[in-house]
Amino acid sequence: MAATDFKDYYALLGISKTAPTDEIKRAYRKLARKYHPDLNPGDQEAETKFKEVTEAYEVLSDTDKRQKYDQFGKYWKQAGSSGAGWPSGGANPDFDNFEFGRYGSFDEFINELLGRFGGNAPGGYGSRPGYQTRRASRPGGFGYGSGADSGAAGGDLESPITLSFSEAFHGVQQRLSLGTEVIDVRFPPGVKTGSRVRVKGKGQVNPLSNRRGDLYLIVELKPHRFFSFDGDDLVCELPIAPDESVLGGAIDVPTPDGSVTMNVPAGIRSGQTLRLKGKGWPKPKGGRGDQFVKILISPPKSLTKAEREYYEKIREVRSFDPRSHLSNMKL
């Protein structure tokens, strides 16, 4: 931060210079909730305020940084910097890698953010719930490297993100908040659970080179009430009436881009599967897979008087015995 860009962090949080840690935390909670970008869509002023109060909390919640800030004022960073560009003697609480959509509530986000800045995350550098830190590695087992390898990129991060079937089928652009940074990420059509979407240069900072790795978003699809996957195949279950199974006929079947008419052969059995060619999930290299339709014969739970009479007549005249092959079955 340039000297002319000095910010009064205490004033930004609305607290006194003697405020204890708990008061700093409470003040940040209140202001982060007020100015959070997801709660103020399109409000650039609110987004700027959110970044400022987050920056203020990141400094004042860290004992070492706060001491340097109080001692050196606008020159605190220069006074406390080390050769690698990090404040000496303290951790680097990275707050540039949050994906807010994975939190059940805003309080969950704030609780993790507070814990991360407080340096209490288990597992050492960069570890925190919901994220997996992967370091750029080469054969031999080293991570960031040393000597000639000290210029390696930073560690990659992985984070889950949940999409609906519709978003994954059509493709979607989502705005994600990574701490003080807001980015737009495009998910191409055809991603599904387990797909990895790379966001270049948004991963963990390498403490030696100060370069950032990549962020990998691991897709998870919300369950759909009709469609599901069997491996790479899109599958569904289609109920049909007993008369449709006996007589066959044309039946409308939902597909990802609308209903189509499918011919059901006469005499189809419950559990048989029919294929709708080219109506499945988008393929990574273009085109569509197939949709597989599992037939389920669904008898009516209630009958009209006329329907009951016809079913009774069918039973009286029916020649087909589906259990004839079991007449001599025994052990």
CATH architecture for the domain at 225-296: Sandwich (2.60)
Q: Can you give the pLDDT at residue 121?
A: 35
Q: Can you give the pLDDT at residue 22?
A: 87
At the topology level of CATH, where does 1-90 sit?
Answer: Helix Hairpins (1.10.287)
Sign of torsion, CA 103 104 109 112? negative
Q: Can you give the pLDDT at residue 40?
A: 82
Q: What is the DSSP code string of 138-204? A: -TTS-SS--GGGTT----EEEEEEEE-HHHHHH-EEEEEEETTEEEEEEEPTT--TT-EEEETT-SP
- Return the minimum-mean-pLDDT range out of 90-99, 144-153, 214-223: 144-153
Which contacts (CB < 8 Å, 24+ apart) does range 249-258 have? 253/293, 254/226, 255/279, 255/291, 256/165, 256/169, 256/227, 256/280, 256/281, 256/291
C-beta separation of 174 from 182 below 8 A: no
Q: Can you give the pLDDT at residue 112?
A: 56
H or E, element range at 227: strand 227-230
How many angstroms separate the CA atoms of 219 and 102, rounded?
A: 11
Which residues of the chain form CATH 2.60.260.20? 95-101+123-134+153-223, 225-296
166-191 mean pLDDT: 91
H or E, element range at 235: strand 233-240
Please write the tens of the pLDDT for every residue from 179-197: 788 889 999 999 999 999 9
With a cut of 80, say whether residue 219 has pLDDT above it. yes
Helices and strands counted in the chain (H then E): 9, 12
With a cut of 90, say whether residue 198 has pLDDT above it. yes
C-beta separation of 45 from 2 below 8 A: no
Query: Nearest to residue 126, comparing CAs of 101, 103, 158?
Result: 158
Average per-residue pLDDT for the chain: 78
Query: Nearest to residue 279, comparing CAs of 188, 146, 161, 169?
Result: 169
Please write the tens of the pLDDT for every residue from 89-139: 343 444 444 444 455 555 555 555 555 544 333 333 333 333 333 333 323
**What residues are paired with 282 via a beta bridge?**
288
CATH number 1.20.970.10 is the correct assignment for the domain at 95-101+123-134+153-223: no
- Return the minimum-mean-pLDDT range out of 50-54, 114-118, 165-169, 301-305: 114-118
- Which conformational region is residue 227 in: left (phi greater than 0), alpha (psi within -120 to 50 degrees), or beta? beta
Higher pLDDT, 298 or 140: 298
Which residues of the chain form CATH 1.10.287.110? 1-90
